Each structure stands twice: as C-alpha cells, then as structure tokens.
C-alpha cells in the first residue's frame, strides 16, 4: 500500500496516475499530480519513467512540463539515453537534447554534456587543432581529445597528427567528430551516410562506432533501431570514460614533473609539441613540502567553476613560470607557461580532483575524502564535494581518525548538507554516550551561533536535526509523543514502543541545551 499524502491519496496511486497521464498526453492532470508532490524521477514496474513514457508516446507538451518541473534527462545514464532515442518525434528528441546541455543542468556538469560542449560551444576557446576537409570546412578540435579517443593518432609520435582530410566531406567528418565528443548523432545518420562513415570510422580505428554502423545500416524496423541506439549510446559514453581514464593515468598523472626547487625556470619539453599538449599546469605542494606539476587542459579543468572564472578573468591569479626548451636554439629561447597552485594537499587528493574533472571518477580513497571536499570547495566543484561526502558517510572507518565533530565542522566549513545530516544522525544514535562530551556541548553552541539574527523562538538547527533523527531511531511519528502524556502509567506499553528510551534521549539532549543557557 502507498503512503498517504496530505490529501488522502496514496503516493503510489498518484505515481501510477501520472504515468497514465504521460502515456495519454493529459497535460492538465499531469500538472495536477506533479503539484501534489509525486516523485517524477522514479520508474514504474516496467522500469519506465514518466519522461520516457511521454517522449515514447509523442506528447511534447507533457515532455516540456516534466522537464520544467525537474525531470532528469541525463544521457550519462541509461534512462536518459532511452528517453532521447525512444522519442517518437524529432521535435521531442531535440527538446530533450537541448535540456540535456542547457544551463539548467550545468550545475552538475555531467561528463558527457561537458565533453559535447567542447565541440559545439567552447566559450573558452581551448581548441588547438584545426581539421580541414573536402569542401574547405575547418573543424576546431583538441589534440588531447583525439589522441585519447582514437588509436590512429600515434602517441609515440604525437607531432604527426593528421590535420588534413581533403577527401572527406564535411558532413561525414562532422558526424565522426560529434561521436568523438559524445554528441548524440545516431538518429541523424542518413542511409546515404553509412558507406563513407563506416570507412572513416575504420580509418580512425573507432571499432565500436563501426560495429554499430554495420549493425544499423540494413535495419528497417524503427523499434529495433531505437533499441540499438539506446544500447550503443550508453556504450559510447562508457568507452570514452575509460579512454580518458587511461589517458589521465598515462599522460597526465604519469607525466607529472617533480619540482626540485622554487625556480621559475623549468627545463621541460615544449607543451605545444609534446604529450599531453597541456595549456595549463597544476602545481601541488604536499604536507612534506614536496612539489609536483601536473600537465592539464583548461577545457577539462573548467568543469569546476573556479577554473572557468579564472579563464574569464584572463588568469590574473595564475603564476607564470618560464619554460626553457629542452634543446634551445638560443640560450634565451624561453616562453611563459601558465601554472595554478592548489592549496596544500596530498598528491593523491590532487589526482582524485584531476580524475573527477576528466572522466567523473567517483571512487575516492576514504583517507582523502576530507581533503577532497576542502579542495572541491576551493575550486567550486559542488558535485565533487557531494561525491566525497558520500564516501565519508558510507565508509565504516570514517570515525577512526576523525570524530563526528570533525565531520560537522567540515560540513559547516564547506556547506555540505549531507555531512550535516550524517553528523546529526550519528549523534542521535549515540546521544547517551556523547551527552557528557565537551565537544557535543561546543558544536551545539556553535550551531546556535550560526543563526544570523537569533530571535527568541528560533530553533537551533543541529538540535532540531538530532530530534528528528531520534524519532527515526525508535521508528516513531510526531503524534506518538502524545502517548507519553496519555498513557504515562502504562510503562510496559510505552517501553514496547520505544517511547521511554526516546524520552531518556530527549532528556539528555535538552539538558545540554539548558546547561548552555539556550532556549529548548
């Protein structure tokens, strides 16, 4: 049975009704149901989301409504790809794609969306390679992206990047580049495109694309073709993620430079002519004072707002090092390279940041999670902070080297709500053993001071959260508390409900608040 909402309707029934409205195109009813608080991003028993049903059945107004109300169409995920390639009409598909790359979703900067933006709308102008094709059309690309994604660009001799494709029509090369940059193009491929595109995919050694094209070229059933597109689009994204993972491991982290001193003269290969063709270096000093430089790319670091804003400000805060060429023709043959210094952290933390920005890696070492959150806060990467927070809350050893009070201070310092809730829940679970702790008194007092303009009836956020989790600890509802008054003499009954233990915990919590001279 579904849980009742305030109007007496069952939440499960409401969701089923929403799915039906999405299948039938009933915009008004869908709007009404959404306004009642139905979770529009869940799925039914057939694993279909409301957005998928509306797009599959061709109801563009319902699709628009769902997107405006927060339905997620993230093609990094299988469900997002299903929505796009299962759409009945091109108009719906275009709407889904535009929402996928719109500012509404840029707050999370998903992996595939960011890669796509580098080809279609690279506002930072980070490209460093022009590809010429048959009809004198030029495509601006990135050397590192082509090397990472296509084996035809030999990393052992990177200066032999082919920049001329005079025998290839711009339409065909454009489709192939969109594939490389993870732009969904499978639905745009015409029957006349297949011969040239298969040939070009083989030339670039793009085996997965070639495999799809050979399967799809003779397919006439639109349902089968749509199913094939869905399966392969997700496969393309994961393939790109693994390719960039290998590139980062071998050519970014693997090519870091140890800084022996603080000199501004560096004798390293010319970045413009050697792997990984960096246009920026991240300088990291660990807690022992050792420094490293990591060759990176502004285009990928810009997933974090700090780097994006730095580019827009023309790197006013960046440090310039002098680069001396490995075999200079003249003694003064030097040039400037841009370097940015991260706050002091372990190298493993910096490398976790780089991995995340390049290919969305989420398996952060729990020992590094605290520092990852602090650096993530510094570079304004809120999604990275939330990923690292999840590592902390799910690690059984998190409170071995750090206390729950360290977690709370980190949460307040960096604005990570997940950690605040984790801290409050832990305190609720251990209130009796922590009730005499000086640290608990201190964090409750600090929480009270975090209220900017304290009024007599203001609640202390941490105390309110602990009270909420105390109810959950004993599986109680707010209305159950009244039983402490009405059945005060029935001790056995109250004990069976957990109310007496709950009462003891509340007494311990309220004592701390009273001792601090705060309002209960």
d(CA 515, CA 520) in angstroms, rounded, equals: 11
For residue 260, name the pLDDT band (cuts at 50, 70, 90): confident
Write the CATH number of the domain with boundaries 117-249: 3.30.710.10
Q: What is the mean pLDDT of the chain?
A: 82
pLDDT confidence tier of residue 262, bands split at 50, 70 and 90: low
Q: Is the pLDDT reported for residue 330 higher than 60?
A: no
pLDDT of residue 244: 96
256-363: same fold as 117-249?
yes
Tell me: pLDDT of 63 over 50. yes
| Cα gap 101→106, rounded to integer Å | 7
**What does the alpha-carbon distance between residue 281 and residue 28 come to, in Å, rounded to a whole number?**
54
Give 382-429 pLDDT, tens digit per residue: 888 988 888 888 777 778 778 999 999 999 999 999 899 999 999 999
pTM across the whole model:
0.75
Neighbour-count burial of 457, counting CB atoms closer than 10 A to its CB (0-12 exposed, 13-18 middle, 19+ buried): exposed
How does pLDDT run across 30-53, given as a tens digit for each residue?
A: 877 876 667 787 888 888 889 999
Give the pairing type, strands 291-296 and 265-267.
unpaired
What is the CATH architecture of 11-108?
Alpha Horseshoe (1.25)
What's the confidence (pLDDT) of residue 393? 86
Among residues 193, 232, 214, 208, the alpha carbon closest in space to that of 81 is found at: 232
Mean pLDDT for 6-18 is 63
**Cα-based distances in Å from 326 to 245, 266, 283, 410, 415:** 28, 9, 20, 44, 45
Cα–Cα distance for residue pair 384/362, rounded to 1 Å? 8
Phi/psi for 316 (5° steps) reads -65, -25
* 276 upstream amide cis, omega within 30 of 0: yes
| CA nearest to 354, candidates 435, 267, 295 | 295
Helix (H) or strand (E) segment spanning residue 323 = strand 319-324
Per-domain boundaries in the chain: 11-108, 117-249, 256-363, 403-515
- Rounded to whole angstroms, the Cα distance separating 514 from 520 reads 7
Is residue 288 over pLDDT 90? yes
CATH class of 256-363: alpha beta
Is 250 a residue whose pLDDT tops 80? Answer: yes
């Amino acid at each position: 049975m579904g849980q009742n909402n305030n109007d007496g309707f069952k939440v499960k029934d409401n969701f089923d009704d929403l799915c039906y409205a999405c299948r039938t195109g009933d915009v008004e009813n869908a709007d009404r149901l959404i306004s009642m608080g139905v979770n529009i991003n869940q799925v039914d028993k057939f694993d279909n989301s409301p957005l998928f049903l509306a797009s599959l059945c061709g109801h563009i107004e319902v699709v628009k409504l769902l997107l405006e109300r927060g339905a997620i169409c993230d093609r990094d995920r299988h469900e997002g790809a299903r929505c796009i390639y299962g759409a009945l009409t091109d108009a719906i598909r275009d709407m889904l794609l535009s929402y996928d790359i719109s500012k509404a979703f840029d707050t999370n900067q998903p992996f595939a969306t960011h890669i796509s933006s580098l080809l279609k709308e690279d506002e930072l102008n980070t490209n460093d390679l022009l590809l010429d094709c048959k009809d004198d059309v030029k495509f601006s690309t990135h050397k590192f992206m082509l090397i990472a994604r296509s084996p035809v660009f030999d990393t052992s001799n990177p200066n032999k990047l082919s920049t001329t494709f005079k025998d290839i029509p711009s339409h065909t090369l454009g489709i192939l580049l969109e594939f490389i940059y993870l732009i969904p193009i499978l639905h745009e491929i015409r029957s006349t495109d297949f011969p040239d595109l298969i040939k070009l995919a083989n030339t670039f050694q793009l085996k997965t694309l070639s495999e799809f094209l050979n399967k799809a070229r003779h397919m006439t059933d639109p349902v089968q073709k749509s199913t094939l597109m869905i399966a392969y689009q997700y496969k393309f994204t994961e393939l790109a993620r693994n390719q960039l993972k290998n590139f980062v491991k071998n050519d970014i982290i693997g090519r870091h430079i140890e800084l022996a001193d603080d000199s501004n003269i560096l004798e390293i290969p010319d970045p413009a002519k050697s792997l990984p063709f960096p246009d920026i270096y991240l300088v990291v000093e660990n807690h022992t004072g050792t420094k490293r430089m990591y060759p990176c790319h502004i285009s990928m670091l810009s997933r974090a707002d700090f780097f994006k804003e730095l580019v827009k400000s023309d790197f006013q805060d960046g440090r310039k090092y002098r680069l001396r060429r490995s075999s200079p023709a003249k003694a003064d043959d030097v040039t400037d390279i841009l370097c940015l210094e991260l706050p002091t952290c372990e190298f493993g933390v910096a490398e976790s940041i780089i991995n995340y920005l390049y290919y969305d890696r989420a398996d952060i070492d729990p020992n590094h999670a605290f520092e990852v959150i602090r650096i993530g806060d510094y570079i304004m990467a809120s999604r990275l902070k939330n990923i690292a927070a999840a590592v902390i809350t799910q690690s059984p050893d998190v409170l071995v080297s750090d206390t729950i009070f360290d977690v709370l201070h980190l949460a307040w310092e960096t604005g990570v709500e997940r950690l605040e809730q984790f801290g409050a829940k832990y305190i609720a679970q251990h209130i009796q053993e922590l009730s005499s702790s000086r640290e608990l008194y201190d964090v409750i007092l600090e929480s009270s001071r975090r209220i900017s303009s304290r009024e007599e009836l203001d609640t202390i956020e941490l105390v309110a959260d602990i009270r909420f989790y105390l109810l959950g600890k004993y599986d109680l509802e707010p209305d159950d508390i009244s039983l402490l008054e009405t059945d005060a003499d029935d001790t056995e009954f109250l004990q069976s409900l957990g109310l007496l233990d709950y009462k003891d915990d509340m007494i311990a919590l309220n004592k701390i608040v009273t001792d601090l001279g705060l309002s209960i």
